[in-house]
Amino acid sequence: METSVVVSKLVAWLTKQVESANMQGVIFGLSGGIDSAVVAALAKRAFPSKTLAYYLPCHSHPLDREHALLTAETFGITLTETDLTPIYDHLLGILGHGEDAIFAVPALSSANIKPRLRMTALYYYASLHSCLVLGTSNLSELTVGYFTKYGDGGVDLMPLAGLVKTQVRELAKYLGVPEVIIDKPPTAGLWAGQTDEGEMGITYIELDEYILTGEADPHVKERVDALAAASSHKKRLPPIPKL
């Protein structure tokens, strides 16, 4: 991959997409992870004066805030913090959880509220500032459906959607993302100790190799194909009956 060429193309693409939508800039959630850091770097290049970043904690690990601040400082981006924890707690208190059969997986059911609250907040701020919302999902995550429907999947533009995780790492190094962020285990931060690879049951290296070459060990192929099939509904518009 010619990293410099990819970066130039992505910056030009972002600029064109925002201009075509008659918007003024871009907005995104800065989580402290590598994907959002790469999006931040690309956004700042495309819109030096209209790149808005928000840190939206919701029972988040303190290290996430530290790394979000580090990313913002590295790329000269103003970071706004809005704590969604009280809203999350209040909403769960109203909804109730774990006592009804509909909540067969209480941990995941409640955890998915977090990215959906963040989506709501980002679109509120996007409307105020005439911006498009940038997603941070990459091709690896999209392939296996590792995102929350109408949560972090609810965005206007996905600049990393054509790149697997290992390629995102290449971009991160080229763009100057701090090493501590590049090297830490990827996590969606849905609950304590949760990691991407632990939840998927395979490594990103295995997943990316299968996506890029079509070759993988049988257990990897089986796992990826099963995850892709189970999450296919996330990647299409709701079906509409023909009458």
DSSP string, 191-229: STT--HHHHHTS-HHHHHHHHHHS---HHHHHHHHHHHH
- Provide CB contacts within 8 A for 242, sequence distance 6+: none
Q: Which two tokens stand for residue 189?
A: 């931060």
Q: Which two tokens stand for residue 91?
A: 């909403």
Kindly report the number of other CB atoms within 10 A of residue 65's CB atom. 18
pLDDT per residue, tens digit, the chain (243 aa), is: 899 999 999 999 999 999 999 999 999 999 999 999 999 999 999 999 999 999 999 999 899 999 999 999 999 999 999 999 999 999 988 887 544 444 444 577 888 999 999 999 999 999 999 999 999 999 999 999 999 999 999 999 999 999 999 999 999 999 999 999 999 887 666 656 667 777 788 889 999 999 999 999 999 999 999 999 999 999 998 999 999
The domains found in the chain, sorted by start residue, are: 3-235 (3.40.50.620)
Give the span between the Cα atoms of 29 and 65, in whole angstroms: 12
Which of 134, 114, 108 is closest to 60 using CA atoms?
114
Tell me the average pLDDT of the chain: 91
Is 0.75 topped by the overall pTM? yes
DSSP 157: B
Q: Which long-range contacts (CB under 8 A, 24 or more apart) does 177-180 make?
A: 177/34, 177/37, 177/38, 177/41, 177/71, 177/74, 178/37, 178/67, 178/70, 178/71, 178/74, 180/67, 180/70
